[in-house]
Amino acid sequence: MLEGSTGDASDPSTADAATWMEMESRVDRLEQLIKKQPDQNRLNLLVFDSSRDKLLAALVMANGAAACGMEVTIFCSFWATAALRKGGQVGRKSLIEWAFGWMLPANLNSTKLSRMEMGGVGRLLMKREMKKKQIADLDQLIATAADLGVTIRVCEMSMQLMGIQREELIDYPGIGFCGVASFMEDASMANTTLFI
């Protein structure tokens, strides 16, 4: 008889039923554990920063993984949320929300470099060099990500904090909205989660 069974050892039919029920319970728990094993074919990128170079790196990784057949989700939180705006404000905003909108990038094209920004000169030089060497910029990388089926999920708390409304965000076919619980669930199901 299995440890923890509730059957009477003197009655074989009760002991067998209890043993069988305990075995079924263990098999169910084992099946649940197997189902929760991380999927090696899934990649999550948690993008926190709105710096142009970091967004480029995140999108290059996402597109590369998706091109290799992986299921890729980009989670945009805090400053990265502002970079997904398409420009212009929608609706009324509080003074603080207006200030966030003014200080943060208005869209992907207005993002700054994390280093060597030099008052915008570094960004212009990088854009020129990328064009000259035929390296995809943010707009092209976003379009490629959409074509490859990369999902973008935006942190609802960050949007609420900064006063960003859904209508302000880029038109992207795989865009969704989530909180920390949804992110944690997705992260637990992926073999790899990277923080950028």
Sheet with 190-195, strands from edge to edge, namely 175-178, 151-155, 71-76, 39-47, 190-195
Q: Is the pLDDT of residue 146 over 90?
A: yes
Residue 3 within a domain: no
- Residues 163-194 have pLDDT tens digits of 899 999 999 997 999 998 888 888 888 888 89
Q: What is the pLDDT of residue 20?
A: 83
* Local structure of 112: helix, strand or coil: coil
What's the pTM?
0.76
d(CA 181, CA 161): 18
The residue segments making up the domain with residue 31 are 8-37
Q: How far apart are CA 24 and CA 54, in angstroms?
A: 49
Q: Same domain, yes or no, for 116 and 70?
A: yes
Q: Is 1 inside any structural domain? A: no
Does 2 fall in a domain?
no
5 has a pLDDT exceeding 60: no
The count of structural domains within the chain is 2
Query: What does the chain come to in residues?
Result: 196
User: How much is the pLDDT for 11?
Assistant: 58
User: Which amino acid is residue 25, in one-letter code?
Assistant: S
SS3 38: coil
Q: Are residues 119 and 180 located together in one domain of the fold? A: yes
Q: What is the mean pLDDT of residues 37-59?
A: 92
How many other β-carbons are positioned within 10 Å of the β-carbon of residue 123? Answer: 19
What CATH number has the domain bearing residue 177?
3.40.1260.10
- SS3 state of residue 126: helix
